Structure formats: C-alpha cells, structure tokens
Structure 1
Amino acid sequence: MMSKFFGRVRVVALVLGCTSHHAPTEAETLRRVTPAVAKQWKHVSSEQLSPNGKWLVYLAASVGGGGSTLVIKSVHGSTERRIELGKSDEAESFSLSPSGRWVAFRRHGSTGKAGTAVVVTALDLETGRSCDFPDVSTFDLLGPTEQIVLISKSSEHSSTASIHRLCGGPAVNLGMVKEVSTNTARDRVAWTDGGQINEMDLRTGVRRTLVSGGDAFEGLTWASTGDAIAAVRKDSTALVAITSLESARPTVHVVTPKDLATFPADFGIVAGLEWRSDRQGLYVPIRKLGHQAKRNGVPGVRLWHGGADYLPADKRRIDDQNRPDWGYIDLTAPRFIRLTNGHLATVERHPSAAKILAYDVGAYDWVNYMQIGVASAAPQRRDYSLVDLKDGTRERILTGHRIWARSGAFVLPQLSPDGRTIVYQDGKGDIIVRSAETGASRNVTAELPTRFYFPENDPKRDWFLKDVHEQGQPRIQGWSTDRAHVLVSDHYDVWALPLGQGSAFNVTGDGRTSNKWYRRVVLDSPVQTRVNGSPNPVDFNLEIYFEWFDLDTGEQGIARWDPDSRRLNQLHSEFADLNYFKARDSKSMFVSRETSIEERAIHKVVAGWKPGTTLTRINPQKNDYLLPAPARYLTYRTESGSERHALLYLPVGYKKGRSYPTIVEIYKRFSPATHDNRPPTSYLFPYLNAGFAVLLPDIVPQLDDPGGAALEDVNAGIDAAVATGAVDPQRLGLMGESFGAFETNFIVTKTNRFKAAVSKAGVSNLWSHCNGAYDEKWPLTPGCQRSQPYLSKPWWEGWNDILRNSPLYHARSIKTPLLLGHGSEDDSVSFAQSVELFNTLRALGNENVVLIEYRGQSHTFDDATYADFDGRVIEFFGHFLKGENAPLWWSNGGSLYEGEVPNLELPGGTTETASVAH
C-alpha cells in the first residue's frame, strides 16, 4: 500500500575515514515522475474471484496504453503467477470457468515478419498444467465438463469453431459457422451454419441440428432458463423459436409475418430478440423492409423549416439509424401485438408482466422531442400507458408526466419484478404505488417526515439544479421477496415503502440526522453490486448491507441491518473508497480500497471489517518517486448559508506549514470524486508535480444566475482552502473547461482575486450561444432553457438575465491575464465564442489575452493536443503564480499562423529563430 511508503526517507551512511555524512533528504533520494515514467503505471482491472474463493484473477492494466499483465493470486497462500498478455482488450483478455478451476487468457506475441500471433492458453489453477490454442479470435470456457470453445477466423464472412476438453482428448469440430452462442449456465452451445441452427449439450456431448433449410439465421438469443433459443432469418422473413431443449424432440416454432394478421405490411423481424421468462413469447424488433432515407437531389442543399420537429442534421441521423419498432409475439397462438409506433417509441419490456409500460413524447411541443443529455435541468413530458400483451389495448395512466434525463434524478415509473405494481414519483415529489391489475393507487410518502428530493430540486419548479452525481439519488434499491415493500432512497436514508397495506419504515435510520447518504449493496458477486433500480430481492429475515458516505467528513463506510433488532450496525469506515464483496460459494470477505494517492487494491477482510492482507501487487516503482500528499476534503458554507464541499490536492513535495500557489479548477461538483486515485497519468498530476496545489470547489448552479452562483461558491471554497494554511491567497489561478470555462470568463469580470485565468472552450456571449446550433442538430434557444447555462426564459423574455451573465458584455472589467483555448471544429461551444471575447478585449486595448486555436479539434481534444495545451497552461501559471520566465508564445507579442515560429530580437540587434513546439 502506498501509505506505508509515502514520504519515507531512505537513510544512507557513508564513512570516509572518520567523516560521517548527513542522511539524504526526501528530495535527494526520491525522483520526480517524468512522462516516460508515468506511462509505466498500472491499475487493477477486471478482477474475478473463483466461486470457491481460492483464487483472485485480475489484470495489471497499463494506464499509459502499454501491455497488460494477467495476475493469478492464491487467496490463502503465496502462489502468484504473472503472465504478460501484450496489448489486448481488457474486457476480453481472460475468462474463468464456471467451477473456477480453469482460467483461459489471450496472449499477443510477435512472430517477426508474420506480424502478431494470438494464442489462447488454458491454465489449471490447481495443478498448473496448461495447453495452448493458436490463432484464436474469440473464446469462452464452458460447462461442468470444463471445456473450451474456440473460434478461429478463417475468412471475412465465416469462422471455424471447435470444442476442446482441457487439456487433452479429441476436439469436436463444429465446422464453418456464422454465429456461436452459449446459454447462461454455459452448458449448452448453439451455432448457425448457413440455413441451419445446431445445438450441443456439453453435459452429454450430444449434438444435433434443430432447424435446417432456407436462408441463413442471425441473432441467436437464449432464454434466461437456458432451455430455449431463438433466431431470425437474415432476410427478416421469419422468426424461429425452439423450446423444450431438454426433451428428445424440442418444439420448433416458425413464425412468419404473413402468418400474423396484425403484423404491419412491409415490415420484417430483425435481430435483437428478448425472451419472456415463461418462454411462451418474445419481444421482437421490427423494421420496415427496404428502408432507405430519401436524399435531396441537389448536392449541398439543406432545408431548415420553422415548423419541423427535427432540423436537417438530426433528421438525417435518425433516418440513418432506422431505429426499429417493437412488437410481441405470443408463441401459443401465434399472435402479434405491436407495442410501438410513431411517437409511442419506447416500451419497457418486462420478463413476466401481463401489462407493460410504454410512453409517448409526441403529444407536446417540438422542444419536448429534444434528446435531453445528462446535463439536462428541465423535464421532458411523457404520456405513460399500460399495454396489455393479450390484446394490445392501451390504458393511459399518466398524462404530461415530467421526467428528468438524469438516470435516477427522480423515481421514474417502473413495474415491480412480478409485474403487478407500478411505482413512480408524482408532480409533488411523492412516491405513488399503483396496481397494474386494478388501477388503484396510493400515496405512500405524503405523511412521512421527509421528502424524496433536495429543496433545490423541488419538482413543482420544473428545474433540476442540484446535480448529485449518484450520491443519494432517490432510486429504487430493491423489492422485498414477500412482495410487500419497495426500498427507495430519500437522498439520505433508505425507506421501505409498502406496496399494499401497511406502513413505511426507515431502514437505515440516521442518514438525514448525521448528513450521510446510504445505498444498498449486494456482496455475493465478484465485485460489489451497488443496487440502483434493479430488482434485486430484499429479504427482511436476512441481513441487509448498506454503504454510506459522510457528507461532512468525506469518510465512507459499510453497515449491516440486523433482522432481529431491526437496527443498522456500523461495521467499518475510513477516508477511502471501500467496496466489499465475497465469492459465490465462500464466506470469506474481500474489499477493494482506493484513495487519491493509493491505486485501487484488493484486500482480504480481517476482524472489524478492516482491509487486511493486500492481494494485488502493482506499481512497486512508486516507492522511488515523489508523489502528492493525500487530498483534503473541505466542508464549509457560502455567504448565503448553503453547505458546500471542495477537494484540495496538495503538490508533490508538500511541506506542512507552507502555503503554495494554487490553481482553482471549476465546473459543477467534484466532491463525489473524493477518493478517485490520481496516478501520474491523471490530468491533475502535471500541475501537482509542477509545485501547484489544485482546489476543486463544488458549484451548484442557480436558475437565471449561473455566473453569480459560481462566483459565490468559488469565493467560499477559496476562503475555506486558505484557512487550511496550505493555499497562498496572493498566488491564485482560475481554470475551467466547457461550462467551467463560461464560469471562468464570468468570474474574471467580477473580481481581480486571481493572478491569471485559463478558459478552454467556454461561452462568452449567451445571446449568440443560445441562438447558434450544436453541430446543426437544433437551435440552442430551447437548449439554454433546458440545461446549461440554466436560463429559464428565451432571450426575448430574459434579456436582462443574458446581459447580466454574459462575460462579453462585462469584458471592460477584465484585468486578469487570460489564456483562451478552443478547437476550431468544436460542435458544443462554437469557436466563435472565444473569438468574440478575444476580439472585444483586443479592441479594448487589453494585451493580456492570448487565444490558442487548435485547428481541427472538437470540444474535447485528442491526447497530443491536450498535452500541448496542458504544457502551455503550466508555463502560463508558472509565470504568473510562481514568478518564472514568461513563455515565448505569451511574451513575444505576436500572433502566429499554423506552423510558423517567431523571430526573437536579441540584444545588439541580432535575431534568432526559436521554436515554440511543445
């Protein structure tokens, strides 16, 4: 663990005659991290526990883009194997067998002129024996008989597949295949071969052809029970579903659109099938056959119509996607029910419900069509209906229901696991329980002493301002096994709300009073499952686990609900990110632990639920280098009395009692990333390595005053940081990107507190920004009313708000040296936004501004461009905050076109050409 070695001084005594020398200081014994060294850092990835808990298998994956190392570690012994995999896809690098005895992994190795060879190795974890399979493209470990299926590429359109016993025995050659799929239990494998669907039972070795003849099949889809499979004809003319695979004569259903009276004309069934849990029917995607978007015959001409729902670029994107509609096919009839069409474009497919939820967004104005991204602050209106799978009838249950695009911002309408109950949050913020069978509904939270939203996010205001980044969101966190309760968070505590008669009760108890948020977790999985809306069953006769985060201190912990006392017991906490989990068939507990200075590591849990023996071993080189001190979590109040938090990162070489030049980076909320590890490859590290502290204060935007809210929150955060003694109030820099750049542009018009400021891809003129376009998809006028920059009215009604918050209109007040960076092809914030601010400052005679245009770059930069820009930012702040020489590109006083280097006039009238490449 890093904390064991961080700051340690290695004492070296040299004796020359009778002379002794002093012990070297930390700076003399530890080296600075260089970019080349940073690329050597690795992180723990894709960890898996064997079901018996004996083995931990993980990747030591390169942070800097190099090769990965597969590590196989004995949990209860000292055995450890490390295998270099070369550059490989982390997600598909290795696989554990169902029993956990075998691991298979892909290795990439050079073969000289032939290029790179791919070899799959299967390794017996108990005995260490192994076998290799060359030239493999995909693989999987299968079944109770410990077999492996290998698929080797043979041509562009087909592959060969074979099944091998590990290790030894004859292989079973499946021949040329188009598609291979295994069921959930991995004891059956199916494959398509031209016009055939074949299947093999790996328990018995029996293989058979289920369907033959006709065109090729695609989209093999297993039922969750593993005893039924379906596919569609490649020409979309038929669905084939095979059930009762356990019997000697499986049942084969062949359904064609022409057999279904209600199937829409000119449509076909396409891949993407979903089985119902009873295997009596499937949800099927359908698409119009021969669809092709009609193209304008006049090259280069687009027509923008004021009455259109979609503008040209977005309309073309939708046409090109040709999104399928959904239907349901009942195999027992057979019968087809169309589920979506036109504006009723979304249906919540449920594995067992007799009636399922669908919603319509088309009954409202065209603004409602807009695809609201994760930054959305205003609701979308939907009409929700229940669709009966027996006859297709639709029952409208909610009209104009408001939802926010952020997943979990409010409790969205959803069906219980048994499909009998609908739970949703109404327009007042209360939780409503409705019977899907009778329509009877009940408000189950109106009388509770809590609200299921933050005051800033009162649903009656039509705005969602407090972005909680998953911290305590009011999500459904499980359904009780007795069908009596649903678990829902109120941002702090988790409540058990009755689905029928009965009362609600607070399961966690002290969240709101102690300023903690709780979230239920499931431990018996390879990596801890944080339950957010999934139907994980809750049994109140058993122990229930919760993780929590203390909003005052930043500590994280785990607690256990006891079924006998019906109380929550705190087990362990510390200033770190802790994720507990266990193996499927073992009682041994494990925990992954991460802090800002310690990469995520897996530990065995010892008494008191504390992290014990470390099972992962990576980055031993870190003990030789200077690294940052731990981040500090600050809690404070703004001038208006609101509670806020900030993260303060201390520089490499930090000395207690000293204050440091500090870069204040802003956007919205950073505190949820309190324990995120910041390795040498993170974007913050170069600033810390250059001797700067970095402060990340939380900002909560305010409606119609985003600039003023940012100014208040940033000033409060700086005051709290200065109070620690580590931040020099006379050497402050300000930096922001995107919305943070807009805030930066605004703040420097209101204060001279900062010695320098950097704005990357920021808005300066809200009027022109809101009337521009995002990559021609739609005008931003409604966009500005639905998300950033949090303006509630269009410009013609909210002109004073735009004038007050637009940095451009207050540019005369800017005295802070300002570095602007922007991509010329930015499709989120037009490059013109930075040009407007630059030209205005230049016209005002302000020479302390430089705009760096990155030709061809978009809103986010590629790695090389970010490296160039970050390097310039460090030089810029180094000059203004640390008194270093000004970089040439700032001090030379001349603009440059791409590729040009300036001529420097040297003393005596001579000149010298100098490069400004970075």
Structure 2
Amino acid sequence: MKSCRPSFVAAFVTVALALSVLALPLAAQSGSERPELDPTDLNHWKTVRSGQLTPDGRWYAYQATPTEGDAEVVVRPTDGGEEHRFPIGEPSGGGGALSFSTAGPLQLSADGNWLAFSTFPSKEEADEAKKADETLHNAVTIVNLTTWQEAKYEGVSRFEFAGDNPRWLVMRRVAPEKAPKDTGSGLLLLDLQTGVSSPIGGVSAYDLNDSGELLAYSTQSPDRVVNGVTVLNLRTNAAQRIDSERALYSDLSWADEDGERPALSVMRGHISEEDDTTYVAVGFTGFGGSVTTTVVDGTELAGFPEAMRITPERSPRWSDDRSALFFGIAEHDEDPDEGDRPDVKPAAGTPGAMQSPAPDLDEDDLPSLVLWHGNDPRLQSRQQVQERADERFNFLAAYHVAEGQFVQLATEAMRTVTLAANQRYAVGYDDLSYQLRDGIDGGRRQDVYAVDVKTGTAQKILPAFTWRVSLSPDGGKALYYDDGHYHVYDFENNSHTNISASVPVSFINVADDHNVEDPPIGPVGWASDSESVLLTDAWDIWRVDADGGNYSNLTKTGREEGIRYRRPLRYDPEQDGIDLSEPLYVEMYGEWTKKTGLAKLTSNGRNIETLLWDDVRHSVRRAENAETFVYTRETFTEFPDVWAAKDSFDEPVRLTDANPQQADYAWSAGTRLLNFVTDKGDSLQAALYLPAGYMEGEKYPTVVYIYEKLSQNINRYVVPNETRALNVSVYTSRGYAVLTPDIVYKINDPGMSAVWSVVPAVQAAIATGIVDADRVGLHGHSWGGYQTAHLITQTDIFASAIAGAALTDMVSMYNSVYWNSGNSNAGIFESSQGRFRGSYLDNHEAYLRNSPAFHVKNVTTPLVLLHNEKDGAVDFNQGITFYNSLREQEKDVVLLQYVGENHGLRNPVNQRDYTVRMMEFFDYYLRDFPAPDWWVNGVPRLEMEEHLKTRQKKPQIIS
C-alpha cells in the first residue's frame, strides 16, 4: 500500500516526474488517437434548456447553453425543417430540455406564430460591467415565425403573450434606478398584428386573465394621487378604471375559466397619518356589463377577531363560483399609546413583572441570548430557520358575499388549511401536539380535519395521521392511505370507504428499507371525473372505483415482465385529474434491464400499444392540442438530444445536435450492467462505466462511487465539467472505469449494509476482468461519505478513498442539529437514512457498530476527507474528530476544508480546486502518476496563499 510519507529522495523524484508528465500532450499520455477531455474544452459543452413546444406541435424552441459563455435560442419545425438561431448572451439558470414553463426566458405564442425570448449581456459585457460596478439589464426579442422579422426591446424584466389571445405581448419594463420610492415601473403592450407598441407608466402590478383578453393593472406614484386599478380589454382596446383611491394596490389576480365569468381580486392598503397601513381585500365581478365591487374590511365585519387585521402576506382570491373571497388575517402588531397603558404595575418578582414597558434600547444594548426550553415544540434552531415564515404566517379566512358573513378557517392549532376544488370543503391539519416528539423520532403526525367552508366547522377525520391526503377534482372526496390500504373520505356523507380491500395486490412499498412501518406506494392520481382513482402496486396501474366497487388492471403484465408502468403524461395544463376517456400515454421502466419506453392505453386499458422501448433513458412530452411528441433519448455515451415524432413514433425527427464535438475526444466505450448478490442474499445490480479505448482482456483502474441505489442511472448522460467532483464522463475519458453499485439496508446496520453490498459488487466487477483489483478507489459524499468512511474500517479492498462531508460518529451525530433546516438529527436516524430503531441510549451497540470513529484502528486505506466548517448538514466536528483520530493512529489522511462553504461546494473556484485534487490523488494511487506535493508534505499555513496562487497560474490537466 502506498504511503503519504515517502522519503526525501522519493519526493524529489515525484516532483521531477510531475513536471515531465505535464509537459506531454494529453494524447501522448493516454496513448489514444483522440485526446482526453481537457479543462479548456469543458466550458463549451452545451445543454438544451427551457424547451417549448407550441400547442399545435408545429414548432420547438430551446436555449443551447454552454457551461460558461454566451448561449443562443434555436427554433425549428418539428417536421425537421430549417432551424433558426439567435444569439442571446450569457443567461443564468433555466429549466431542462422539456421544461415547458408558461412564463420564462423563452416563450412561443399559443397560435405558434411568434417566438419571444430574453437576451442578456454577453459574457464579455458582463465581465466589463462587473469591473466598472455597472448594472446591465436584459432585453426581449420578438420573432415572427412566418416572415422571420425580429424586433428587440431593451430594459425588459418580464414578458408574456396574452394567454390564448396571441395578438398581444405584454412586457414589464425595468424600473429606473433613481425612481422615487413607491413608484411603479412601466408596461409595454406590443400589438403583434400592427407592430405598434403602447406604453403604460407607473404600473405597480398587473395580471392577464386566462383567455388573454383582459389586462388588469394598478398604477402607483409617490403622492398616490394616480393610484388605482384599470382593466384594459385587449380585444376592443377599451380601458375601464374600476378603483381609484390614495392607497397601495397589489396582488392583482384573475379568476376565470377560459374567459367565462372573469373576476378580479386585489389587495388595497390604506396608509394612516401614523404611517400604519390597513389592508382590505377587494373583489370585482360583472365584467362585460356593470362591474360590482366587494370590499372586505376586517374592522367592519361581525365576528372578525379584534386583534387581527387582513394581511398582505396572502393574496386574496375568488372561489370558483364567485360566492366567496378568501384572504389571510394575522395579529396586528401595534403598540398601544402610553396613555392607554394600565397604571397598576405588578410587584417585582410576581408574574408579569418583567412585562412592564422597557426603555428604548439599541440592539447592541441587549444580550445576545437564545433560550432553549425543554418543552419548546420546535427547536430554537428550527424557529430561526423558519423565522421569516413565522413572521408572515396568517390564518386563512373567507368572506361569503351574499350572506355578508366572515368565517375564519384556520386556527391557532389547525394552522394549515387546504381548499378543495370548488371550495365547498377544505382539509385542515393540526400538528401542534406532535411537533416535539416528531422532531425527535422523525414522525410526521398530524390530526386531519374536514372543514366546512361555509361555517368554518372542523371535524377530525384522521387522528395522528402520517401520510398524504389527495383531494378529488370535484372537491367532494379525499384519498388517503392507512394500515396498508387506500381509503376515500366523502365530505358530504362524512363516510370512509376502504377501496383497495378487494384488489388482489398490495399497495405497501415493500422496497422501502427505512425504519417506517408499511409505507405506501404513492397513488398515480384521481380520474378527472372523480369516480375512480389510479393506484400502482409498483408494477402495474390499477383503476379502482372511489366507492370501492370495481377495479381493473390497466397495464396487466408489468409484474410478470419486470416492467414498472409509471405516471401518465400530463399535457393539458387546464385538466384536473386523469381523463380516462382519452388515450393514456404511460411511462415504462424495466427494473432489471433499465430500458425505458412509452405505452399507449386506450379503452380503459383494454388495448395496450408499446410506442417506445429501448435500452436508453427516455423523457417524453406531448403537444397540448396535437398528437405530436418531443422526447429525449440518452445513454451514458449519447447526449439527450431532442427528437420529434407523431403518435406512432415510426419516423422520429432529430431536432437538436447540441454537442457534435464529443466525437473529437476520447469517450467511454459504454456500460455494463452487473448482477451481484449481497452478503445477506439480496439480488442487486451495479453500473460499470467502461474507460475510453477499452480493450477486452485489459484491466483498468477503477473508482467506485456510492450513495444508495445508483444502477438506475446507467443510461444517464453526464455532461463533462470542472465543477462536479467525480465527473464520470471525465474519468472514463482519462482511462478509468467507474462502478456505481446499489446498496440495500438492514435496520440497525446502515454502515454494515454498505459493506455487505459494496464489497460483493466490487468483487463482481473484478470478476469481469475489466477492473484491476489492485487499483480500486472509493468516493462518496454526505451519506455516501459516511459509507466510504465506514467501508475503509471494515475492508482493505480499496487502494485509496475520498469521503466528502462524512458522518463518522453516529452517537454524537444523533442529537446534533441539522443546521440547514434547524431540526435535530434524531429524526434522520430513527425514520430516514439512519435506519436505526430508537436512539443510541436504547440501541447503543448498533450505533457503535456502525460508527467509523470507533473502528479507526482498522484503517489501512489512504484517505482524503472533505469537510467545511459551515456545513449545515453534517457538523464539521464529524470530519475534524475523525481526522484527529486517524492522525493519532498515524494513518495516511488529509482533510480539505474550504472556508465558508456549506455541505457542498458552491464557489466555482473551490469546486475546480477540489476536482483537480481528487484527480491528482486517484491518479497517484490508481495510475502510478506522481504524488501531489500537498498530499506528500501538506502546506504550512504561512505558505498556503503562495501554494494556491501557484496552482492557479500553472496549466493543469484535470489531475
């Protein structure tokens, strides 16, 4: 086994060899005709983002975005016609190839005739502006897809086509930097037919109704003279001022169904001379005739809590039938005047004595105290994380217009209330009495109530309930899971029905290996008519009547063929539930083959047609109003480019070719799906990624990456980059094989379970003749870091290991705080990843058996630890104490700490540094490259700055 303590002579030779290696071309080092991936190439690798498909299926548009640098928008007809490209500068963020957002940096009009997209400063412009401390703004470009004429509008922060009315594009202007406070920004309305743009100034908020015919906007100025709400009919160009007061208007929201019975709700704030704002909820109905205004003012309502006010933290909204307005109420934080204070003060030492008025003090004059009480329902740390949410919390309430009746729906105990469709009923949740215990054992108990929205009456229907409640599309029923079966609650009849008792399969998730009793397999969803639900037994999809009467297996052969039929495609954004009268397009997944596909179900499952089925990973979307599909197909070696096809999928058309340069580099020879049996007799699989230039009979250095189950990702393409620590595409390009085995768990043995799964997987990989048994490295992060740390205390099969953010002492970790969420780690140990029964006080031997910290003496594997002092998931002490223990035992170990970083690395400079050090470390132990000096000798504190500068200056291969 190599040591990190070589002799002086060895260290000298190491440096000389390192310089000679860096001087060689990459192709010469690898012996391959095609060069290995180089850092200078990685930032040009592109992804396909923000994909959009027109409702009629004619056009597909997307962003082609490099890892770093300027992007472009590409639009192409789905029949394979000519594509058009538009440079857009350097964007940030964005969805996936099939994200299909309705508002975002790229949009197609509903009629498929127009394309609009954001343009950004170029990378060069952004870099120059950053140096000059200047602010640059985005623009929007609009393209006519018939004539290909384009127009650009500067200083636009948001834009959208006017719903189903593609004649208009609405653009929100960027507010001037030196605009007075309480001044709205401008809107720009572009008439797509005439090309004429009309500005509207001082707009504080706006909203388009679903049909795109009505635009509501509020105006605002510092003196509030012009403040008000206007509705513009975009079809007739008629504007109607529906409200005008010296008030602040916000939260404009339309309620309409395809343009029918449009109603508008608005929040209006009145500012007093004392600068105190009182809010009222305002609703407007009767558009197209005489507009009716409904004002809900809490100070004038019978039954309205005296200490409460209507709050702007919840937007008002209409019920579907326009009979009620919903809004939020909260305690009004207003100190009484001195003259209103009671004259009698409690004596010192009596309850209330410390509640007397305190003198005005600066924050610096107050103690920096956090008081943790044993009876706190939530830990103080959790309260700190949720402080902003607690400040904004409000109680859902309703105003029934015809009756003039106020009803408070949420209460201090039942703080969460979810309205059902049609808003006749609601479901309320009360977890107050369970919070303290749930914070310890990880339970998610709550009492569930059926709430009558008209009266506010709440009836408990599910005590100490753990799972999810799913409301029916008609709002009259609720689906839930209990005691291994699915049940339906009927609000009107106040009845519970076990609907799965007679179905001849189980809906218990037997594959879930957490310490949770009989967890459910989640439901597929409600049928759109609310008469039945779709359930899955993890293989087939079953239609089950909501009254428990009949059932049928729609997919029939999933279990016997080892195919998991998953969720149906949802292509109509307005559709609630799953329409069983229409064909269902259902995703397919081969559990043991990893194939994916798409099946078409018609006539309630009586006919099944397989449309796609291949040893690739598919992701499919359908056009809203046409049987046109776009989909990606990917493998580890094939980028997920986008294809288009009609319903038969017979003649697919390739729409994108994002990374043709891949063919110019040494790339993985493919994958092998391995089967193995754990030491406890479980049949599992592992994905083995072959190195570039793989030759049968050759053995290769291998890195094993672990977490939990990973073999399902065998056909997932990994975009090469510098910022992902173990990038499988980069490693295989450089001559490594990579193994990602599945791990299953036995209760009370999370660490040993990794040993029982991973070691047999490595042995199976060695048996293929591909993996060099003497050159196997190991890496994992977080939970994978824990398993990495534990594995090297139980086996010497690995030549080197890197553990990131590793749990190492399960006893001390149990009652520490997960600072990112503020919760205790105890719940993670008892009902989540930890998979222990009870605490270490009751299960001490199991905790010790699975803690790497108590087995340090067994370690023979050289180890790099990554742990950051701001880690809010796994406390820094877990890493530093393990490092100190290894150091005490004179083991080969280095701890990398990136100052200020959390659980993962966010700073790209740190990401690159870690990536390179990882590769250097594995190259030394697995490929006989020279040892990196930081591993051999460390870096003294006073030399660190120069060490980092030197590494930044010299050209570095990713090793």
Please give the range of the TM-score, normalised by the shorter of the 2 chains: 0.7 to 0.9
Aligned partner of 1:136 among 146, 152, 156: 156
Q: Which residue of 2 aligns with 1:3?
A: none
Aligned partner of 1:629 among 669, 673, 684: 669
Let me know the Cα RMSD of the aligned residues. 3.0
1:505, CA displacement in angstroms?
1.4
CA distance in 1, matches of 2:823, 2:530: 45
Aligned partner of 2:88 among 68, 85, 88: 85
Contact 1:361 1:368 in 2 (8 A): no
Name the aligned partner's letter for residue 142 of structure 2: A
Query: Any idea what SS the aligned residue of 1:630 has?
Result: strand
Aligned partner of 2:212 among 186, 200, 224: 186
Query: Any idea what SS the aligned residue of 1:476 has?
Result: coil
Q: Which residue of 2 aligns with 1:825?
A: 870
Distance 1:523 1:430, change over 3 A: closer
Q: Which residue of 2 aligns with 1:103?
A: 115
Q: Which residue of 2 aligns with 1:355?
A: 425
Name the aligned partner's letter for residue 796 of structure 1: L
Aligned partner of 2:61 among 47, 57, 60: 57
Aligned partner of 2:797 among 753, 766, 769: 753
- Deviating more after overlay: 600-609 vs 566-575: 600-609
Question: Which deviations, in whole Å up to 9, do the C-alpha atoms of 1:527-579 show, x marking residues without a partner?
Answer: xx9xxxx942322x432221110011000011122318714232320111223
Distance 1:565 1:318, change over 3 A: closer
CA distance in 1, matches of 2:136, 2:511: 56
Q: Which residue of 1 aligns with 2:234?
A: 202
Alignment of 1:207-356 (within 5 A): 207-225=239-257, 226=259, 227-234=262-269, 235-245=277-287, 247-264=288-305, 265-270=307-312, 271-290=314-333, 298-321=366-389, 322=391, 323-356=393-426
CA distance in 2, matches of 1:464, 1:451: 10
Distance 1:571 1:134, change over 3 A: closer
Distance 1:741 1:564, change over 3 A: closer
Q: Which residue of 2 aligns with 1:12?
A: none
Aligned partner of 2:636 among 591, 596, 614: 596
Distance 1:202 1:723, change over 3 A: farther
CA distance in 2, matches of 1:740, 1:464: 26
Query: Any idea what SS the aligned residue of 1:702 has?
Result: coil
Contact 2:509 2:518 in 1 (8 A): no
Name the aligned partner's letter for residue 559 of structure 2: R
- Deviating more after overlay: 568-577 vs 101-110: 101-110
Q: Which residue of 1 aligns with 2:479?
A: 423
Distance 1:565 1:196, change over 3 A: closer
CA distance in 2, matches of 1:783, 1:76: 51
CA distance in 2, matches of 1:320, 1:47: 34
Residue 509, structure 1, aligned to residue 556, structure 2: yes
Name the aligned partner's letter for residue 721 of structure 1: A
Query: Any idea what SS the aligned residue of 1:122 has?
Result: strand
Contact 1:275 1:351 in 2 (8 A): no
Alignment of 1:776-791 (within 5 A): 777-791=822-836
Contact 2:419 2:425 in 1 (8 A): no
Distance 1:219 1:749, change over 3 A: same
Name the aligned partner's letter for residue 487 of structure 1: L
Distance 1:538 1:138, change over 3 A: closer
Q: Which residue of 2 aligns with 1:851?
A: 895
Name the aligned partner's letter for residue 420 of structure 1: G
1:622, CA displacement in angstroms?
2.1
Query: Any idea what SS the aligned residue of 1:764 has?
Result: coil
Distance 1:807 1:204, change over 3 A: same
1:236, CA displacement in angstroms?
4.7
CA distance in 2, matches of 1:127, 1:901: 58
Contact 1:742 1:763 in 2 (8 A): yes
Query: Any idea what SS the aligned residue of 1:538 has?
Result: coil
Name the aligned partner's letter for residue 555 of structure 2: T
Q: Which residue of 2 aligns with 1:686?
A: 730
- Deviating more after overlay: 42-51 vs 303-312: 303-312
Name the aligned partner's letter for residue 131 of structure 1: A
Q: Which residue of 1 aligns with 2:274?
A: none
Question: Which deviations, in whole Å up to 9, do the C-alpha atoms of 1:682-709 show, x marking residues without a partner?
Answer: 5333322332111111222332110111
Question: Which deviations, in whole Å up to 9, do the C-alpha atoms of 1:330-383 show, x marking residues without a partner?
Answer: 23323222222323222222231422111111123603257xxxxxx9531111
Structure 1 residues not aligned, in runs of 5+? 1-23, 371-376, 404-411, 466-472, 904-912
Residue 388, structure 1, aligned to residue 452, structure 2: yes
Q: Which residue of 2 aligns with 1:70?
A: 73
Contact 2:818 2:872 in 1 (8 A): yes
Name the aligned partner's letter for residue 572 of structure 1: L
Distance 1:36 1:167, change over 3 A: farther
Q: Which residue of 2 aligns with 1:18?
A: none
Distance 1:210 1:39, change over 3 A: same
- Deviating more after overlay: 834-843 vs 161-170: 161-170
1:880, CA displacement in angstroms?
1.4
Q: Which residue of 2 aligns with 1:470?
A: none
CA distance in 2, matches of 1:770, 1:811: 19
Aligned partner of 2:745 among 693, 701, 718: 701
1:778, CA displacement in angstroms?
4.3
Query: Any idea what SS the aligned residue of 2:691 has?
Result: coil
Contact 2:213 2:235 in 1 (8 A): yes
CA distance in 2, matches of 1:31, 1:747: 35
1:29, CA displacement in angstroms?
4.8
CA distance in 2, matches of 1:303, 1:362: 20
Give the TM-score taking structure 2 as reference length: 0.83
Contact 1:634 1:645 in 2 (8 A): yes
Aligned partner of 1:153 among 170, 174, 177: 174
Query: Any idea what SS the aligned residue of 1:691 has?
Result: coil
Name the aligned partner's letter for residue 718 of structure 1: V
Query: Any idea what SS the aligned residue of 1:631 has?
Result: strand
Residue 797, structure 1, aligned to residue 842, structure 2: yes
Distance 1:767 1:335, change over 3 A: same
Aligned partner of 1:166 among 188, 192, 208: 192
Distance 1:67 1:898, change over 3 A: farther
Give the TM-score taking structure 1 as reference length: 0.87
Contact 1:597 1:628 in 2 (8 A): yes
CA distance in 2, matches of 1:897, 1:396: 63
Aligned partner of 1:641 among 681, 689, 692: 681
Name the aligned partner's letter for residue 492 of structure 1: W
Distance 1:898 1:208, change over 3 A: farther
Q: Which residue of 2 aligns with 1:495?
A: 542
CA distance in 1, matches of 2:371, 2:110: 57
Q: Which residue of 1 aligns with 2:24?
A: none
- Deviating more after overlay: 71-80 vs 702-711: 71-80
1:831, CA displacement in angstroms?
1.6
Query: Any idea what SS the aligned residue of 1:189 has?
Result: strand
CA distance in 1, matches of 2:375, 2:624: 58
Alignment of 1:631-670 (within 5 A): 631-670=671-710
Q: Which residue of 2 aligns with 1:402?
A: 466
Name the aligned partner's letter for residue 443 of structure 1: N
- Deviating more after overlay: 738-747 vs 857-866: 857-866
Distance 1:779 1:418, change over 3 A: closer
- Deviating more after overlay: 827-836 vs 559-568: 559-568
Query: Any idea what SS the aligned residue of 1:537 has?
Result: coil
1:243, CA displacement in angstroms?
1.5
1:883, CA displacement in angstroms?
1.9
